[in-house]
Amino acid sequence: MYILSTISGHRLEDVKAASSGPVWYQLYLTGGREAAEAAIERARVAGFSALVVTIDVPVAGMRERDVRNGTKELLSDNLVAKLPFLPQVLARPAWLTRFLVDGGVPEPPNIVILGAGPMPVIDVGAALAQTMVTWEDLRWIRGLWPGPIVIKGVLTGDDARRAIDEGAVAVVVSNHGGRQLDCVPASLHALPEVATAVSGRAEVLMDGGIRRGGDIIKAICLGARAVLVGRAYAYGLATAGEAGVARALEILRTDLERTLKLLGCTSVPALDRSYVDAQTN
Amino acid sequence: MYILSTISGHRLEDVKAASSGPVWYQLYLTGGREAAEAAIERARVAGFSALVVTIDVPVAGMRERDVRNGTKELLSDNLVAKLPFLPQVLARPAWLTRFLVDGGVPEPPNIVILGAGPMPVIDVGAALAQTMVTWEDLRWIRGLWPGPIVIKGVLTGDDARRAIDEGAVAVVVSNHGGRQLDCVPASLHALPEVATAVSGRAEVLMDGGIRRGGDIIKAICLGARAVLVGRAYAYGLATAGEAGVARALEILRTDLERTLKLLGCTSVPALDRSYVDAQTN
Amino acid sequence: MYILSTISGHRLEDVKAASSGPVWYQLYLTGGREAAEAAIERARVAGFSALVVTIDVPVAGMRERDVRNGTKELLSDNLVAKLPFLPQVLARPAWLTRFLVDGGVPEPPNIVILGAGPMPVIDVGAALAQTMVTWEDLRWIRGLWPGPIVIKGVLTGDDARRAIDEGAVAVVVSNHGGRQLDCVPASLHALPEVATAVSGRAEVLMDGGIRRGGDIIKAICLGARAVLVGRAYAYGLATAGEAGVARALEILRTDLERTLKLLGCTSVPALDRSYVDAQTN
Amino acid sequence: MYILSTISGHRLEDVKAASSGPVWYQLYLTGGREAAEAAIERARVAGFSALVVTIDVPVAGMRERDVRNGTKELLSDNLVAKLPFLPQVLARPAWLTRFLVDGGVPEPPNIVILGAGPMPVIDVGAALAQTMVTWEDLRWIRGLWPGPIVIKGVLTGDDARRAIDEGAVAVVVSNHGGRQLDCVPASLHALPEVATAVSGRAEVLMDGGIRRGGDIIKAICLGARAVLVGRAYAYGLATAGEAGVARALEILRTDLERTLKLLGCTSVPALDRSYVDAQTN
């Protein structure tokens, strides 16, 4: 199952067409309601099976690593601003060549401003700063999207209950990779409270920190139905393209099965809290 | 809002005149009661809006970094004593030039010994060693100062209650930057107990460890009405003068607003303990 | 007392004949039931006094150090695969010479596949992957082995009770040196729960982390009757052969006696939980 | 107040004669009962005011640093054994010269074996290994020593109660600098339990870890009447002889007074548990 982000380098229709399994569409309100409306409609027509609404990015977080690496400057058109950050790029000529051959920085083709075309990547951060998602927005989205809605970025039992009351069929316990709010709890630590609050009324998914098969097992023991992975497959993709992604998933699957056997547990559904020794409040 | 320390390089009247916002005067009993009496009267005439009485410096703390850096020797007139510590100063010629051009070590013009003029900085430490503030002193100060009195350096609920009983309209939870008493608790850890003890009868402020907007949020969630910052603005000041101070405050304000949004909280007054996961006794 | 593993470099009959004390036989189901049946019969005839059934190796764990060191490649016949890992071996010519003189990689003479002879070491890992021990297997083993059976690899009170119900006269609290299941609890931490569950109905042994005499004392205080050591004697063996093993055991014994005296405890049986300050749930 | 150890480089009579304050005699049963009997009588005649019986050295601990440094070899007469450890000594020629001028390794003149004279230092360790102090020994000592007896090396409430029942007027909470029993609790952590058990029936002293004035304060807050220092004065002694010892004590005293003032506490007897935030069971 794949979740395509609004902020993606490929047209959502192309991704759907190339997928054999179900694909969900992850919506950001970047670009405003009109851009979102168009994207939702495109996703519906293309056949995406669920809409994932991300609620933990009302503004871009303060990512100090991005500041040190000059992410903003490198994406800009200002050559003088880029200069101090070029050495780290030039020091990797093979990577740079492949990057340029591949077309350089892609424009996100799923954020189309009416009458202006795709939004440049450099503007996405600024646009994010004005796109807080409210429960009000969610009701408006429900009017546009007839299929199931998943709320991503839930970290408390209260928010999970509210999300379900507002019509979500699933919540994703997530802290956005820890890159949004400094000092935010690990999603694994927030998971038990959410699972207890949801109490079977909706599906509970989780992302964040899934590096091995044992991490998936822990999340399931603590109440997740499944997990989302981001870096694991991206590392595989960067290293070896499609084969790399397949290998990354295979590593996780093999490790998951090995860990199950070592636990003496016969199947994933048979996992429960007795298999972990987590300190929960 | 600015709090001017007794131990300052500028005349209190000048600071007040140059400020557009409210200014409080932070009183140390250095120099004895007569010097304090004169300073309180000067602060009253100049229009300071509150008097901050610091109670956590009955003696100078054992600051081992000062010993290693030769702070005492460098401030003295003894050239032989200075010698071992000069290399660290001479190694920074640009700083040294600016320091000398700026007038070198300033005399604290707000501690005036009758018939002797301003007290040399080198004597301030020794003078501090004889200036414990007692509740008795506080009553004497109340007789001299008709305006609001703030007690700075409170770390327990008992001391906070006593301060209010003695007439304080606000307390500052502070451990003096951790530079006074070794092994003292962090002011953030002491804050909940103080806030509970005060229970709305006075304002609770806090200083210590405010480096980011999120630190301000945490303090407010745990019971502070506002926070004081020292190093943050001083670093800005040392780096770029007035512009640096403005930038330091802007960094804190921007980060405060970003953190509020990421928390999904609409305003500072809406913050409460549910937003933090602090272990309190 | 010595426990001989199925995966050993010496014939079980030779080991028994060379031992003056009791010897137990540690059974792995590697090679399938027929190979196991033959080995059990050989152990019975040779006079082994107990059978140790290891239940924590249903599959080989993911030992990343083995991957980095190229254990699989070095054991294989594929010279090209071996190449990248040879430098670490060639850098130790003295060790390499002794290793080759000693006969190189031994074949495990106690896993005899009918009609095929001893199984090559390289295949043992793969074979392990298909040899989960179930309670069903245990009943079948009990039919073959008339003597006492010890279950090794117990980490919970439930498993310990089940093992005793299935006929075990002793359990070994063990996590297989922490090399099987990532994030498994230390056996010392699992020991109190097991000891409480067993409650005198069987013997409780423990292995894992025994490096000093004090470690033995801690295990006994927390409920073990005795401990098993692996690395300690193997280090002695690698360093100085038989004399090294004797010295390793002497170090442990001396340290055990010294620690007893320093505790003011007169004998090993007099040890109990009051001598340790362990946090148990 | 000074406590002279049995294992000292100076005659106990000389130490007493050179002291203006009270001196206690710390008894080890090294050398057997006859040697101890003679030493106790000498201490009584010389006017020592109390006898300190050390109970935490039934055998010498396993001090691995001594093994690495070759303490035993360097003290022996075996030149070949000494050889590997000489470089560390020869690398400090100034120290070595002073050491030899000072007379080299002193013989402990307070352990006199009848008919054999002082025991060589090299034999003290071996002798210690046979000198466990039992409650039986304590009764025998009480018959020889009419004055107050202090039991040093108590770490539990039970041992403290027993020591008082056997006639001790004071106990010293001590783990012998952590050099005897590996994994022993810090004496500061054992102190509250002992203080509660003693409950005023005897004096409670403590040693171990006293490096600053604040450490003394913590011990007193947690129930000690006073503390013993070893390394602090020894460092001063090694650095600058008598002046160094005086300076070490002055540093501790000054820091004690400063800390008292910073705590806002008027005197040492006014200290209690409310001044510390120790987690006790």
Q: Find the Cα–Cα–Cα–Cα dihedral D162, D165, D170, D171, rounded to 10°.
A: 0
d(CA D161, CA D155): 11
> From the candidates A152, A161, A176, A218, which is the catalytic residue?
A176
Quote the percentage of chain B above a pLDDT of 90.
60
B253 interface with A at CB cutoff 8 Å: no
Each residue's pLDDT tens digit, D120-148: 666 666 665 556 678 888 999 999 999 99
d(CA D240, CA D235): 9
A255 interface with C at CB cutoff 8 Å: yes
DSSP A73-114: HHHSS-HHHHGGGHHHHHT-HHHHHHHHHTTSSPP-TT-EET
- At residue B281, the pLDDT reads 47
d(CA B114, CA B32): 10
Q: Which residues of A213-239 are buried (b: 16+ CB within 10 A; e: fewer)?
A: bbbbbbbbbbbbbbbbbeebbeebeee
Which of D58, D183, D185 is nearest residue C261 as measured by Cβ atoms?
D58
On chain D, the residues whose CB falls within 8 A of the CB of B55 are 264
Q: What's the pLDDT band for B127 if we cut at 50, 70, 90?
A: low
Mean pLDDT within A178-206: 96
Structure tokens at B164: 């209010």
A193 interface with B at CB cutoff 8 Å: no
Dihedral sign for Cα atoms in the order B122, B128, B130, B136: positive
Best-predicted range by mean pLDDT (A9-13, C107-111, D30-34): A9-13
Mean pLDDT within B76-104: 88
Q: Are D30 and D126 in contact (CB under 8 A)?
A: no
Q: Count how many pairs of residues, chain C against chain D, have C-beta atoms within 8 Å.
A: 25
Q: What's the pLDDT band for D255 if we cut at 50, 70, 90?
A: very high
Phi, psi of D218 (to 5 degrees): -60, -45
- At residue D6, the pLDDT reads 81
pLDDT at A281 over 50: no
Q: Shortest Cα distance from D128 to chain C (angstroms)? A: 12
Mean pLDDT within D198-227: 97
- At residue D34, the pLDDT reads 85
d(CA C265, CA C257): 10
B181 interface with D at CB cutoff 8 Å: yes
On chain D, the residues whose CB falls within 8 A of the CB of B62 are 255, 258
Mean pLDDT within B110-119: 72
Mean pLDDT within D28-38: 83
- At residue D281, the pLDDT reads 47
Best-predicted range by mean pLDDT (B77-81, B225-229, C178-182): B225-229
- At residue D103, the pLDDT reads 84
Q: Is residue C176 among the annotated active site residues?
A: yes
- Mean pLDDT value across chain B: 89
Contact B62 D258 (CB under 8 A): yes
A214 to chain C: closest CA residue: C182
Judged by average pLDDT, the poorest of A90-94, B122-126, B253-257, D47-51 is B122-126
Contact C180 A262 (CB under 8 A): yes
Phi, psi of A131 (to 5 degrees): -125, 40
Pick from B182, B184, B281 the residue to mutate for testing the D interface (most D CBs within 10 Å). Answer: B182
Mean pLDDT within D158-163: 96
Q: What's the pLDDT band for A107 if we cut at 50, 70, 90?
A: confident
CB neighbour list of residue B86: distance below 8 Å, 6 or more residues apart: B74
Residue D75: name the closest of D119, D133, D44 by CA. Answer: D119
Q: Do chain B and D touch: 3 or more Cβ pairs under 8 angstroms?
A: yes
Each residue's pLDDT tens digit, A59-105: 888 888 888 988 888 888 888 898 889 888 889 999 889 888 888 88
d(CA B26, CA B151): 10
Each residue's pLDDT tens digit, C121-179: 666 666 655 566 788 889 999 999 999 999 999 999 999 999 999 999 999 999 999 99
The neighbour count for residue C40, using CB atoms within 10 Å, is 18
Each residue's pLDDT tens digit, A154-169: 999 999 999 999 999 9
Q: Are C3 and C54 in contact (CB under 8 A)?
A: no
Contact A262 C132 (CB under 8 A): no
Q: Shortest Cα distance from C174 to chain D (angstroms)? A: 23
pLDDT at C30 over 80: no
Each residue's pLDDT tens digit, D214-238: 999 999 999 999 999 999 999 999 9
Residue at token pair 């959502």: A12
